Amino acid sequence: MQNVINSVKGTALGFAGFLTPVLKESKFKETGVVTPHEFVIAGDHLVHTCPTWEWACGDDCKTKSYLPKNKQYLITRNVPCVRRCKQIENCEVQENIVESEDGNEGWVETHHYDSALSPLSEKISEISLEENLNSVNVTSLNKDNNVLHSATNENSTVKNINVDTQNDCVDDDDDDDDEEEGDAIDMDAFVESGLLEDDSVTNYPEHTKKKKLSSSSVDEILKTRTYDLHITYDKFYQTPRLWLYGYNENQGPLSVEEMYEDVSQDYAKKTVTMESHPHVPGPSMASIHPCKHADIMKKLIQMVTDGGGDLGVHMYLIIFLKFVQSVIPTIDYDYTQNINL
């Protein structure tokens, strides 16, 4: 039922926006709205400050005459979304204050109580030396410290080697053995024979072949969704409007219900609805309704003014992205500078 109501509202507002005249005089300080020209100024500042954002043209048949043709809307792609909103809502404090032993200031261990990370930590175990016995050489010495037996579990070989452990050097008899083995190979003759470039004589061990991941290993891989975010200018409300479209870990489009999983449940299907994009044809996209944007911006402008500051219109989109983060808290799109109001 709520989807039907949202659809009717969207159609009515689209028609009203068509009839609404384009705002030409700035009312940013008084009401928190912006003109199309001010939207472009704020967009240019966002692109300059955060290069992950860029201007887009959109479909030619949906070009808005009150905006430059090459600056119809803003877009950022492949924004990561690691967790669902249900995993962070109504959870306990995840930080743990660690005090320093030397009496100095301590530090904060983030995600200390994060239950989402506990399954991974349980998989961590200590390395046992017993597991590596297959690669350990077993050596037997007689009473004269001569090596009688050197072997591994994979290939057992017996060697008679005379080792002087007192002087840490090899007996002179080894030099005689080297002479009996024959002269060294002439490298020039070896190169001319062509054996140096013959790969057929090279034996590659079988264990170097690629191994397929087991089903249990695949389940332990952290699956990350990604989103494309768009910022358009809403002619009726005279404010920016945020749109989002999600993809799963295989780059397949998310369903409507899956996208709602990444929206705070206080806003899903109310403030965030599925509507047609004003510049791009295709399936409906999730959009944060802009009906409250101007009021919020007006309050922020007043806060800055009361503090003796001045909030320029070029900062609009940077502040806009920060206050809509509460609606989609798990989509990590905000890499702009901190704002002190």
Q: How confident is the model over 262-303, as pLDDT tens digits?
A: 999 888 888 899 999 999 998 899 999 999 999 999 999 999
pLDDT at site 52:
93
Residue 225 β-bridge partners: 81
Give the C-alpha distances (Å, rounded to integers) separating 258 from 42, 46, 76.
32, 29, 20
What is the C-alpha separation between 61 and 125, in angstroms, rounded?
59
Annotation says 291 is catalytic: yes
At 198-251, the pLDDT tens digits run: 655 555 555 555 556 566 555 556 678 999 999 999 999 999 999 999 999 999
Residues in the chain predicted with pLDDT less than 50, given as ranges, are 2, 6, 15, 120-121, 124-125, 127, 135-141, 143-170
Cα-based angle 47, 48, 53 (whole degrees, multiple of 5): 20
Q: Which residue is catalytic, options 85, 91, 169, 291? A: 291
Task: Using the Cα atoms of residue 10, residue 15, residue 17 and residue 18 in order, give the sign of their dihedral.
Answer: positive
Give the C-alpha distances (Å, rounded to integers) separating 147 from 139, 156, 165.
7, 14, 10
> Do 240 and 290 form a contact (C-beta atoms < 8 A)?
yes
What is the C-alpha separation between 39 and 200, in angstroms, rounded?
67
What is the C-alpha separation between 273 and 279, in angstroms, rounded?
17
pLDDT at site 171:
52
Q: Determine if the pTM surpasses 0.75.
A: no
